[in-house]
Amino acid sequence: MDAETKMAGRFAGRALPHDSAHLHVTGQASYTDDLAEPSGLLHVAVGMSAVAHAKLRRVDLSEVLDADGVVDICTCDDIRGENNYGPIVHDDPILADGLVHYAGQPVFAVAAQTVDQARKAARLARVDYDELDAILDPLDAVEKGSFVVPSETMVRGDPDNALAGAAHRLQGRTGTGAQDQFYLEGHVSMALPQEDGGMRIYSSTQHPDEVQTLIANATRRSAKDIVVICRRMGGAFGGKESQAALIALIAALMADKTGKPCKLRLDRDVDMLMTGKRHSFVIDYDVGFDDDGRIEGIDLMLASSCGMSADLSGPVNDRAMFHCDNAYFLENVRIVSHRCKTNTVSSTAFRGFGGPQGMFAIEHVIDEIARALGKDPLDVRRVNFYGVDDRNVTHYRQTIEDNVIEDIIDELEASSDYRQRRQAIESFNAKGGVLRRGIALTPVKFGISFTSTILNQAGALVHVYKDGTVRLNHGGTEMGQGLYIKVAQVVADELCIDIENIRTTAADTSKVPNASATAASSGSDMNGRAAQAAARKIKQRMREVAARRFDVSEADVVFADGEVHAGSQTVSFPELVQLAWSDRVSLSATGFYRTPKINYDRATMTGRPFFYFAYGAAVTEVILDTLTGEHRILRVDILHDCGSSLNPAIDMGQVEGGFVQGAGWLTSEEICWNERGELTTHAPSTYKIPVCSDLATDFRAKLLENARNAEETIYRSKAVGEPPFMLGISVFHAIRDAIATVDDPAPALRAPATPESVLRAIAGDPS
Ligand code: MTE
Ligand code: HPA
Ligand code: MOS
């Protein structure tokens, strides 16, 4: 079978450990901050705005300059090029220019001999502010027409008529909170001036190419002068897609000004204050449905807090609109999306990229319908699922060709004993008492591809050395998700060599140019294919050499298990490499991939934005203490479709980790700004991410067996980075299910379901 369509090779499909696992656990993996520091390195700290919105009347940095160890300072006046790091709209100053738009915004930078000296000096600035009115609430922004990009509307069918004619109708408001990416490695970058105006930047970034472009623009250089390198990140989760550039830019500007290597590492508090989070959403709905709970018409209004600039808010909110259907057919639908400009840090990418918020909206509506009709929410979900041959066109007019949601739900409903457990839970709750149980099964359907078609391209560079070993490079970045091992597995199978003979090198703009961010879960899909293309070029050249040397036809040259058979003769892979080298045949190649079939017209918001969909579902059972509002997750059952997985161990890690992170978003992680627009949750003391002890003791995650991507992705695998995040929605609904047994069958539970929020819901006071 052709390698393109095979299910698994010698390495692809195997549960190999992460290529850096042994380095991670022994502390030997070098992250950006661990790299050897060059002599003369200066450490940079940032002076931030103390207020949410103001004119800068006076910025007096004399004490900063006089402080111990300080070498230089940098303000917007020192920026020779463009003072912007906005990736799409140029509305994002690197250093404030006359105005500040959020508390935490960088106003100036200071370079000193040590980290402590720089950080202490940064606090010595005297800044006088003329404070302006701050908009902190997205609905306030809607009222005042304060948007970072224009509002959008998607319509299909006739929602007004469908709503008017429906047997039942519900209206209401819900919403979701912000969420900090809380990567363990905070933002960090080191910039090293090179000879003749060159600059080398080590940056913890998902998007080295964008860092390169923005530094070129800000320092009046061109791309050829700048090299951006990232070997790995200690987590990113979208937080380093666009905003890593800010940190790299400040380091680079300081290096440019001083001519010295400069490093900027944010401490946790500064990281949380200065850089963007998941968009919080206000969601209004008006839904009409029949006696079975089938949705006939729905009107949704989404208003998200984008913060002070556009950043990635356009595509994030687009993705929210695309995912308002989740796995359900919405025949008559209107979605209005407001991208609200608020005086808070610019909201940015976070795993799911707006998808989770869109899905939360429809899952809430479904749950409301079920509770209004007194039905099991699973039954209402089922009657609304997309069909396979009919009811299979999304509200943006993409025909779903790979629907496996019913298969997944059938299998999971049975394997999790959903119905029996529902009954057991009902008997448990019927006894009354302080402890209540709840259960929920929620599906996920997530679109794979960057919604901006242009970004769906990737490149790779493969070198084969004379000893037969391989250095592999591609435009993708490693953030813990296991991209590097997956792509190495592909190259090992393409060249039919042992994976030990392959070393993947740091993402590097001088090796692969113009790479998209590693994002949209498309890293292994795209870089796997690009690396495959490069490896195939080299293999074909080697095949020609073997055919010539051994006088056989090319078809009689067979690569297998580190050897090459040419008719009756066999040589080792390194031996054939030697022959190719002595024949003066190139053993280095680039590979390129562009995702096929996709097309999307942003003007009409229709087309095929996604190459395919990833599916999964989760059942969560919780027990809730109705006096304290605390819950425990008792059991989780997950069934997730990774197609023909490139690496089931890595993919399982993504499924489990994604679920937990999604559960954190909707339970314990609460981002708060006070009435002055100051972030009051900027450290783990006030912001609680899930820990191991929050995990269900009974956690049963499974990858869908015998699965295969309907599209010709790399070895028929499916992207897995983001989709499982949304499995966490089941936790929220299980909690709501438990609360519903106390008093109100449809309690107004606000996300995140912290103990306070749960107690308010029980008390019937959702405010
Ligand atoms: N997994 C780990 N361990 N660390 C991360 O930062 N980021 C997630 C996901 N899984 C992340 C992760 C996000 S937001 C995305 S888009 C994908 O990984 C990106 O990688 P991929 O495209 O290679 O899956
Ligand atoms: N997903 C993630 N990141 C992105 C996207 C997307 O669809 N578009 C631009 N950046
Ligand atoms: Mo992921 S939010 O697309 O970086």
746 Cα: distance to centroid of ligand 1 (angstroms): 35
At 213-249, the pLDDT tens digits run 999 999 999 999 999 999 999 999 999 999 999 999 9
Question: What per-residue confidence (pLDDT) applies to 170?
Answer: 98
Pocket test for ligand 3, best of 242, 312, 353 (most atoms within 8 A of CB): 353
Of all ligands present, the nearest one to the C-alpha of 721 is: 1
- Summarize pLDDT for 6-38 with one digit per residue, the tens: 444 799 999 999 999 999 999 999 999 999 999
Percent of the chain with pLDDT over 70: 99
Q: How confident is the model at residue 388 (pLDDT cuts 50, 70, 90)?
A: very high
- Residue 156 and residue 150: Cα distance in Å, rounded? 20
User: What does the pLDDT look like over 292-346, one tens digit per residue?
Assistant: 999 999 999 999 999 999 999 999 999 999 999 999 999 999 999 999 999 999 9
pLDDT of residue 766: 67
Question: Any residues with Cβ below 6 Å from ligand 1, and which?
Answer: 235-238, 351, 479-481, 483, 518-524, 654, 657, 719, 721-722
Q: Which atom of ligand 3 is nearest to the CA of 241?
A: 4
Nearest atom in ligand 3 to the alpha carbon of residue 517 is 4
pLDDT mean across residues, the chain: 97
| Counts for the chain of helices (H) and strands (E), in that order | 19, 29
pTM metric for this prediction: 0.97
Q: What is the DSSP letter of 703?
A: E
Q: What are phi and psi of 736, to 5 degrees?
A: -60, -40
- Ligand 1 atom nearest the C-alpha of 522 is 22
What's the whole-number mean pLDDT along residues 699-726? Answer: 98
Position 767 confidence tier, pLDDT thresholds 50, 70, 90: low
Tens digit of each residue's pLDDT (9 = 90 or more) over 165-205: 999 999 999 999 999 999 999 999 999 999 999 999 999 99
589 token code pair: 């190649």
Ligand located closest to 185 CA: 1
Question: With contact defined as beta carbons under 8 Å apart, do 438 and 734 qualify?
Answer: yes
CA proximity to 444, closest of 731, 736, 724, 752: 724
Other C-beta atoms lying within 10 Å of the C-beta of residue 194? 12
Q: What is the per-residue pLDDT across 240-287, written as a single tens digit (0 to 9) for each?
A: 999 999 999 999 999 999 999 999 999 999 999 999 999 999 999 999
236 Cα: distance to centroid of ligand 3 (angstroms)? 8
Decide if pLDDT at 109 tops 50: yes
109, 257 contact by CB (below 8 A): no
CB 530 within 8 Å of CB 475? yes
**Looking at residue 475, what is its pLDDT?**
97
Q: Residue 765: its pLDDT value, please? A: 83
735-743 average pLDDT score = 97
Asked if pLDDT for residue 5 goes beyond 90, the answer is no
pLDDT at 283: 98
Strand partners, 149: 339
Check if the beta carbon of residue 451 is closer than 8 Å to that of residue 314. Answer: no
Positions annotated as catalytic residues are 722
* pLDDT tens per residue across span 528-572: 999 999 999 999 999 999 999 999 999 999 999 999 999 999 999
- Alpha carbon distance 504, 501 (integer Å): 10
